[in-house]
Amino acid sequence: MIIARSTAELQAALRPVREEALSGVAFVPTMGSLHEGHISLLRAAQQPGDFTVASVFVNPTQFSPGEDFELYPRDEDRDLELLDQAGLTLAFVPSVADMYPVDFATRVLADPSLTSCLCGASRGPQHFDGVTSVVARLFGLVTPNSAWFGEKDWQQLQVVRSMSADIFPGIEIRSGATVRDQDGLALSSRNARLTPAGRLRASAIPKALLNSQQDNFSPTRTTAEDLLEEATQAFSSAEIELDYLQIRDGQSLQPVSGSITEAPNARMFIAANLDGVRLIDNVPIFSSPNHQPDRAAAATLAGSTR
Q: By rule CB under 6 A, what count of residues binds ligand PAF? A: 10
Q: How many Å apart are CA 280 and CA 133, to the nearest integer?
A: 22
Residue number, 29 or 284, with CB nearest to ligand PAF: 29
Binding span for ligand PAF by CB under 6 A among 28-36, 79-87, 95-103, 204-212: 28-36
Q: Is-catalytic flag, 127?
A: no
Strand locations in the chain (E): 2-4, 25-30, 51-56, 90-92, 146-150, 172-176, 241-249, 266-274, 277-284
By CB under 6 A, name the one of 13, 25, 31, 202 that touches ligand PAF. 31
Task: For residue 101, count CB atoms less than 10 angstroms from its CB and return exposed for 0-12, middle for 13-18, buried for 19 or more.
Answer: exposed
Strand locations in 106-216 (E): 146-150, 172-176
Q: How many Å apart are CA 82 and CA 147, to the nearest integer?
A: 19
Task: Give me the 46-85 binding string for ligand PAF, x by CB under 6 A, dash otherwise.
Answer: -------------x--x-----------------------
Closest distance to ligand PAF from the beta carbon of 248 (Å): 19
Task: Give me the 152-181 binding string for ligand PAF, x by CB under 6 A, dash otherwise.
Answer: -x--x-------------------------
CA 183 to chain CA mean position, Å: 20
CA 84 to chain CA mean position, Å: 23
| 131 near ligand PAF, judged by CB under 6 A | yes
Applying CB under 6 A, the residues found at the interface with ligand PAF are 29-31, 59, 62, 131, 134-135, 153, 156
Active site residues: 38
